[in-house]
């Protein structure tokens, strides 16, 4: 065994590597196998659980992630940290069914979780484990939802949180982290964020999308689907795929309920959806491979599924194939159209990563790979207002609304621009400039000392305000690409009105 075995006071037996089968103690501290770096999965004594829990007893419990506590790896109930996650509604989407001409479409709406994403299911379990292990802080490298969720649960638990983020991120999620008191550090990209988190874990409890405790929380989506559908399954379940953990753990949940005798057999086809600009799992499936390789460059507005190297990609492939399912890619345009369609048809506003399931359903149905007489359930993983930049796109063609929004933005603009942003506008008004160049000008001209990632965050926010835009991308002397910025028309007008225009 990789670690010394301990006697668990529950039905939890051990963690096992999903790749080589090496077994670890049930309180394992690692997220990956020491031998082969495979993802670790928790295993339970299902005979014991079947003696303690029945379908009828579960139905009598209050809807929550923790109603399935016998199937979760927390052995000390006083350690549990909860914000009321789980128990999310399954909608029957009649108007969407009429428009897409599919027999039955159901939506599992995870936007109603405490921080508006399915990630809360994992956070409640992993932060509870951090408490159980005596940790005083948690840390992670995240694209967005994980950082927002972890910071909220850490705040509830009285823990400090340190979140490492790529400079390209959804601002709504950043705001959530900051208001919950997290310390935030920007890095060049997601890979760099995870590396920084791993180094920081010497001082903190590391949370990753493939942490075995975090993943156990994710599987409760599958439990709820079975129970909410009257202890049966739809023909197909469609799930967004970033790291691949959610779809993998839904499959684990279904097989566990089958093992317990709560369902006769697992007879649903799992279907995973990735953005066309970041599709390493779909690429591996198409090649017939069992191992997922890095995607290389990631290009998609669906940031939470834009993962270059999916940590649970191999598990996702296994889940899809074991269920007789499939996977597909969708473009950013198809994602935005799907988000608008879902909101207008059913009143559910999904962020791009979440709307990918509706885009996938529509695309695959039109291609004939999903039959119109199927009963399909789409998992909507996160809320649209977590990504205000993308949400803003939906009003550009509505002139009356656009006018109102611009008036409100203009009135608020001067209070939102601090001294650093004002000086950046002044610098960019004279020339195209890139991040490091702006950093030097701030120091030399205005004695403002900031790090380059902070400069890029200011530029991102100025882009959101439509004050600056990326004018070009250049590679100089074999160094990494530089993104150059210039003022927009609104930026020039604003700089002139504020007396910072030097063009």
Mean local confidence (pLDDT), 115-121: 97
Q: What is the pLDDT of residue 294?
A: 87
Q: What is the pLDDT of residue 277?
A: 92
Q: How many residues does the chain have?
A: 503
d(Cα 195, Cα 229) in Å, to the nearest integer? 41
Helix (H) or strand (E) holding 375: strand 375-380
What are the residue ranges spanned by the domains of the chain?
90-115+215-392, 413-498
Q: How far is CA 468 from CA 399, 430, 461, 464, in A?
A: 22, 13, 9, 8
Q: Is the pLDDT of residue 202 over 80?
A: yes
Q: What is the 3 state secondary structure string of 103-172?
A: CEEEEEEHHHCCCCECHHHHHHHHHHHHHHCCCCEEEEECCCHHHHHHHHHHHHHCCEEEEEEECCCCHH
Q: Is the pLDDT of residue 481 over 90?
A: no
Q: What is the DSSP letter of 41?
A: E
- What percent of the chain stands above pLDDT 70? 92
d(Cα 310, Cα 317) in Å, to the nearest integer? 11
Mean local confidence (pLDDT), 43-62: 96
| Band (477; pLDDT cuts 50, 70, 90) | low
Three-point CA angle 267, 270, 275, nearest 5°: 170
How high is the mean pLDDT of the chain?
Answer: 90
CATH number of 413-498: 1.10.10.10
Q: Is the pLDDT of residue 400 over 60?
A: no
Q: At what angle do helices 220-228 and 245-259 cross, to 10 degrees?
A: 60
Higher pLDDT, 88 or 299: 88
- The pLDDT tens digits of the residues spanning 6-51 come to 334 479 999 999 999 999 998 888 889 999 999 999 999 999 999 9
- Both tokens assigned to 203: 């001082």
- The pLDDT tens digits of the residues spanning 266-291 come to 999 999 999 999 999 999 999 999 99
Domain 90-115+215-392 listed as CATH 3.90.1150.10: no
Q: How far is CA 83 from CA 145, 206, 292, 382, in A?
A: 16, 21, 35, 16
Rank 40-44, 394-398, 487-491, 497-501 by mean pLDDT and report only the highest: 40-44
Pair 323, 266: CB distance under 8 Å: yes
Q: What is the pLDDT of residue 7?
A: 35
Q: What is the dihedral of CA 133, 134, 136, 141, to 10 degrees?
A: -10
Range with the poorest average pLDDT among 356-360, 399-403, 416-420, 450-454:
399-403
Tell whether pTM > 0.85. no
Mean local confidence (pLDDT), 150-158: 98
- What percent of the chain stands above pLDDT 90? 69
Three-point CA angle 384, 424, 427, nearest 5°: 140
- Phi-psi sector, 33: left (phi>0), alpha (psi -120 to 50), beta: beta
Q: What is the 3 state secondary structure string of 389-449?
A: HHHHHCCCCCHHHHHHHHHHHHHHHHHHCCHHHHHHHHHHCCCCECHHHHHHHHHHHHCCC
Q: What is the dihedral of CA 257, 260, 262, 266, to 10 degrees?
A: 50
Q: What is the DSSP letter of 383?
A: B
Higher pLDDT, 361 or 27: 361
Give the chain's end-to-end CA distance (angstroms, integer). 68
Q: What per-residue string of b and e applies to 403-416 under the rule 16 or more CB within 10 Å gives b?
A: eeeeeeeeeeeeee
Within this chain, domains 90-115+215-392 and 413-498 share the same CATH topology: no
d(Cα 451, Cα 332) in Å, to the nearest integer? 32
Q: For residue 9, with 0-12 CB atoms within 10 Å meaning exposed, 13-18 middle and 19 or more buried, which class applies?
A: exposed
């Amino acid at each position: 065994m990789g670690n010394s075995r301990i006697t668990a006071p529950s039905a939890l037996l051990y963690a096992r590597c999903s790749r080589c089968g090496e077994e670890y103690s049930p309180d394992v501290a690692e997220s990956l196998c020491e031998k082969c770096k495979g993802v670790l999965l928790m295993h339970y004594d299902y005979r014991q659980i079947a003696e303690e829990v029945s379908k009828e007893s579960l139905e009598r419990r209050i809807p929550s992630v923790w109603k399935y506590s016998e199937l979760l790896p927390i052995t000390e109930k006083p350690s549990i940290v909860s914000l009321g996650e789980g128990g999310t509604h399954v909608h029957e989407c009649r108007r969407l069914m009429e428009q897409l001409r599919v027999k039955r479409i159901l939506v599992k709406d995870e936007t109603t979780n405490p921080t508006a994403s399915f990630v809360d299911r994992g956070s409640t379990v992993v932060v509870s484990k951090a408490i159980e292990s005596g940790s005083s802080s948690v840390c992670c490298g995240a694209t967005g939802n994980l950082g927002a969720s972890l910071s909220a649960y850490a705040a509830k638990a009285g823990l400090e949180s340190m979140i490492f983020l790529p400079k390209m991120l959804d601002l709504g999620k950043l705001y959530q982290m900051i208001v919950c008191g997290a310390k935030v550090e920007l890095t060049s990209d997601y890979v760099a964020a995870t590396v920084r988190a791993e180094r920081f874990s010497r001082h903190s409890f590391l949370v990753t999308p493939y942490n075995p405790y975090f993943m156990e929380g994710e599987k409760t989506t599958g439990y709820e689907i079975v129970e909410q559908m009257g202890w049966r399954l739809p023909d197909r379940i469609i799930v967004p795929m970033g790291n691949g953990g959610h779809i993998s753990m839904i499959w684990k949940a279904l097989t566990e309920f089958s093992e317990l005798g709560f369902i006769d057999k697992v007879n649903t086809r799992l279907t995973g959806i990735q953005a066309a600009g970041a599709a390493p799992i779909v690429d591996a499936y198409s090649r017939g491979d069992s191992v997922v390789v890095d995607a290389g460059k990631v290009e998609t507005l669906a940031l939470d599924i834009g993962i270059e190297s999916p940590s649970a990609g191999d598990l996702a492939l296994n889940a899809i194939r074991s269920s007789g399912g499939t996977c597909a890619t969708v473009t950013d345009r198809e994602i935005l159209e799907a988000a608008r369609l879902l909101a207008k048809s059913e009143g559910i506003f999904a962020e791009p990563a979440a709307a990918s399931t509706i885009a996938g359903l529509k695309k695959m149905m039109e291609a004939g790979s999903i039959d119109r007489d199927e009963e399909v359930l789409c998992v909507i993983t996160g809320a649209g207002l977590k990504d205000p930049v993308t949400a803003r796109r939906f009003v550009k063609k509505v002139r009356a609304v656009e006018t109102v929004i611009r008036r409100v933005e203009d009135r608020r603009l001067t209070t939102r621009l601090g001294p650093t942003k004002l000086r950046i506008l002044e610098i960019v008004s004279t020339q195209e400039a890139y991040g490091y160049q702006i950093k030097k000008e701030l120091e030399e001209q205005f004695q403002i000392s900031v790090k380059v990632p902070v400069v890029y965050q200011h530029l991102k926010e100025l882009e959101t305000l439509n004050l600056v835009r990326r004018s070009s991308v250049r590679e100089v002397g074999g160094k990494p690409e530089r993104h150059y910025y210039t003022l927009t028309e609104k930026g020039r007008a604003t700089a002139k009105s504020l007396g910072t225009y030097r063009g």
